[in-house]
A and B are shown apart, each in its own frame.
Chain A
Amino acid sequence: MRTLYELAKVLRSKNSGPFELTLDILFDSIENYQLVKDSGKISVKAICDLYNLSKEEVRHLVFYDQALGVKITILRDIPSGSIGDRDVYGAQQHAPLMNIRF
């Protein structure tokens, strides 16, 4: 069993505008990409559980074969830089994904 953090070349989060957060998982081998894609473990339900969201708050979850990557975009609970925000650039919100095992 390997974690997503070990399998991915890039595992990152970033604002997609001030009201959304986008999570990118990119691979440098087709094998690892396909393993993760085929496992079904990157799903709307999994994201909802990890980020305490309802499924309507997961805006996109798309695999893009050309880039060997998957992109997940979720709604922010607090907009970037508003009072109570913990991460203005949204750059460290990928951590909950790290320990998904394959």
Chain B
Amino acid sequence: MVEDIRILSPCGMLGYGFPIESFMNGIKENPHGIIVDAGSTDAGPHKLGAGVSIVSRRAAKKDLEVIITNGTVNKIPIIIGSAGGAGAKKHVDWTLDIIDQICQEHTISAKVAVIWGDIPNDRVMMANDLGKVTPLSPNIKPLTNETIRETNGIVAQMGHEPILEALENGADLIVCGRAYDPAPFAALGIFHKKDPGLAYHLGKILECGALCAEPGTTKDCIMGTLKDDCFTVKSLNPNRKCTSISVAAHTFYEKEHPYILHGPGFTLNLKNCRYKEYDGVVEVSNSQYIPTKPYLIKLEGARQAAYRTVVIAGIRDPILINHIEGIEKEVRAQVQRYYDEIPIEDYSIRFYNYGINAVLGEKEKERFTGHEIGVLLEVTGNSQETANSICATARSTLLHYGLENRKSTAGNLAFPFAPSDIEFGPVYEFSVYHLMEVDVSPFKIEYRQVNK
């Protein structure tokens, strides 16, 4: 029997913000760790490809300032998972820079552990040559050396092991590169000798902040408590409440299967979990951790696919709306004829008709009703110049397209902005989303003393 381990999760994404009252309610309970997830692939491949964050530096600093000042003064270890949005070196450096600034401004000294999630290209190539890299689902192509070379740096999701090592070495603040979202939470539980199945299951719930409560949100705090044979979850904001259904249902969230979860080196089986509820506290038991061999880590990588330019415009004229798809087809053909010197494989033109079927595309079954639509014209090309040129011509062709019998002969589009064309820059795609077998941990840990 070891003491109960309390974990404070301030929010579902570092930089999303949280009510200070909820956070302080958590601090009053003397938590054993403050742990926050800072990354996701949800927002697409751009963050990883371009090395940028999903939240502003200002927002990340605002949240970190509350976490670091309260954590260090109370000697509570702080763990940040998937730093900077995608957890690659650029994202981790960005986070460390913010931490340095906060520590200087508040004269805080701390032992910081940095766990890098980057996997060198040659290591992936070597494993791939040995047949140790496989696609995660059938719609992903097997990896080639060419794809690896085109990818802007590959990261892998770490499990709890390197984070546990950093805790054992007395780090006050642990900044993880790309991590399996629940792993930082699980590491603290396992550090305190708690059951890994319960620790990971709790981590899966806590990593989204108060999303498991009702009403759910990623922008509020939640408290998890690990006991020897169960864990509990409760809201730190009196306006939210955890129920056994809200917590059980959260296990569903953004996972492929409702009760079988695959993580680095293990499978979590939650089929026989029991959820009990009393006074706004939900107790969960029977989460099962099953180690798997060989040890597999999930690789993520993005490469540049094209350059993009877009135009947003509204159409209010009923004759135009009724013929929009035919008009767009004709615009595409006219642009191709006009630029007969540019090979058609060098660019593509797409129209998204908001109000008709922009969200579902061919899967839309509803018939259009309404009086106005939004048209998003998207051009992608093999250079920014190509995308800009094609887009400008497509825009002017659509604006003045002379549909037979039209009445609005002065122009077909209502542009909300001037200029109408928005240069978007590079477009990325996920080029690596594969499992790799590893014998030795690829996650390097580095310790640094801030403000010694």
A100→B258 CA distance, assembly (Å) = 22
* Seed contacts A10-B249, A20-B256, A71-B252; 10 additional CB < 8 Å A-B pairs: A16-B254, A17-B136, A18-B433, A19-B137, A19-B433, A26-B249, A59-B256, A81-B428, A85-B44, A95-B359
How far is the CB of A36 from the nearest CB of chain B, in Å?
15
Quick one: which of A56, A60, A84, A93 contacts B360, CB cutoff 8 A? A93
Residues in B230-266 with C-beta less than 8 Å from chain A: 245, 248-249, 251-259
Residue of B with least CB distance to A70: B258
Mark each residue of chain B from 116 to 138: 1 if its CB lies under 8 Å from any CB of chain A, else 0: 00000000000000000000111
Residues in A38-73 with C-beta less than 8 Å from chain B: 50-52, 56-57, 59-60, 62, 64, 66-69, 71, 73
- Would you call B348 an interface residue if the criterion is a C-beta within 8 Å of the partner chain's C-beta atoms? yes
What are the nearest 5 A-B pairs in CB distance? A81-B44, A67-B248, A64-B258, A82-B429, A16-B256
- Would you call B149 an interface residue if the criterion is a C-beta within 8 Å of the partner chain's C-beta atoms? no
Chain A residues in 8 Å Cβ range of B43: 81, 88-89
Known contacts A73-B257, A83-B305: does B245 contact A67 (CB below 8 Å)?
A: yes
Interface contact A75-B44, CB-CB below 8 Å: no
A51→B361 CA distance, assembly (Å) = 11
Chain A residues in 8 Å Cβ range of B429: 79, 81-83
How far is the CB of A32 from the nearest CB of chain B, in Å?
12
Chain B residues in 8 Å Cβ range of A66: 248, 273-275
Residue of A with least CB distance to B139: A75
Residue of B with least CB distance to A88: B44
Residue of B with least CB distance to A82: B429
Interface contact A86-B361, CB-CB below 8 Å: yes
Interface contact B245-A24, CB-CB below 8 Å: no
Known contacts A82-B305, A82-B429, A83-B429: does B46 contact A14 (CB below 8 Å)?
A: no
The total of chain A residues at the interface (CB under 8 A) is 45
Residue of A with least CB distance to B275: A66
Chain A residues in 8 Å Cβ range of B293: none
A52→B259 CA distance, assembly (Å) = 27
Interface contact B360-A64, CB-CB below 8 Å: no
The total of chain B residues at the interface (CB under 8 A) is 46
Residues in B406-441 with C-beta less than 8 Å from chain A: 427-430, 433
Interface contact B362-A52, CB-CB below 8 Å: yes
How far is the CB of A42 from the nearest CB of chain B, in Å?
13
Quick one: which of A60, A69, A81, A96 contacts B430, CB cutoff 8 A? A81
Question: B: which residues have CB within 8 A of A?
Answer: 41-46, 136-140, 245, 248-249, 251-259, 273-275, 305-306, 308, 348, 350, 352, 358-365, 380, 427-430, 433
Chain B residues in 8 Å Cβ range of A16: 254-256
A20→B312 CA distance, assembly (Å) = 28
Chain B residues in 8 Å Cβ range of A59: 137, 256
Chain A residues in 8 Å Cβ range of B251: 67
Please indicate which of the listed interface residues A59, A71, A73, A93 has the most CB atoms of chain B within 10 Å of its own CB.
Answer: A71
**10 A-B pairs in the complex with CB atoms less than 8 angstroms apart:** A18-B433, A52-B362, A60-B256, A60-B257, A62-B259, A68-B245, A79-B139, A81-B45, A88-B43, A89-B42
Chain B residues in 8 Å Cβ range of A95: 359-360, 364
Quick one: which of B245, B249, B348, B433 contacts A17, CB cutoff 8 A? B433
Chain A residues in 8 Å Cβ range of B360: 86, 92-93, 95-96
How far is the CB of A55 from the nearest CB of chain B, in Å?
13
Interface contact B140-A19, CB-CB below 8 Å: yes
A73→B6 CA distance, assembly (Å) = 33
Residue of A with least CB distance to B259: A64
Please indicate which of the listed interface residues B139, B140, B259, B273 has the most CB atoms of chain A within 10 Å of its own CB.
Answer: B139
How far is the CB of B256 from the nearest CB of chain A, in Å?
4
- Would you call A28 an interface residue if the criterion is a C-beta within 8 Å of the partner chain's C-beta atoms? yes
How far is the CB of B39 from the nearest CB of chain A, in Å?
13
Residue of B with least CB distance to A83: B380
Interface contact A67-B249, CB-CB below 8 Å: yes
How far is the CB of B312 from the nearest CB of chain A, in Å?
15
Interface contact B138-A75, CB-CB below 8 Å: yes
Residue of B with least CB distance to A10: B249
Residue of B with least CB distance to A81: B44
How far is the CB of B350 from the nearest CB of chain A, in Å?
7
Residue of A with least CB distance to B251: A67
Residue of B with least CB distance to A67: B248
Quick one: which of B253, B254, B359, B428 contacts A87, CB cutoff 8 A? B359
A61→B363 CA distance, assembly (Å) = 20
How far is the CB of B13 from the nearest CB of chain A, in Å?
13
Known contacts A24-B252, A83-B429, A84-B350: does B258 contact A71 (CB below 8 Å)?
A: yes
A67→B275 CA distance, assembly (Å) = 9
Chain A residues in 8 Å Cβ range of B256: 16-17, 20, 22, 59-60, 73
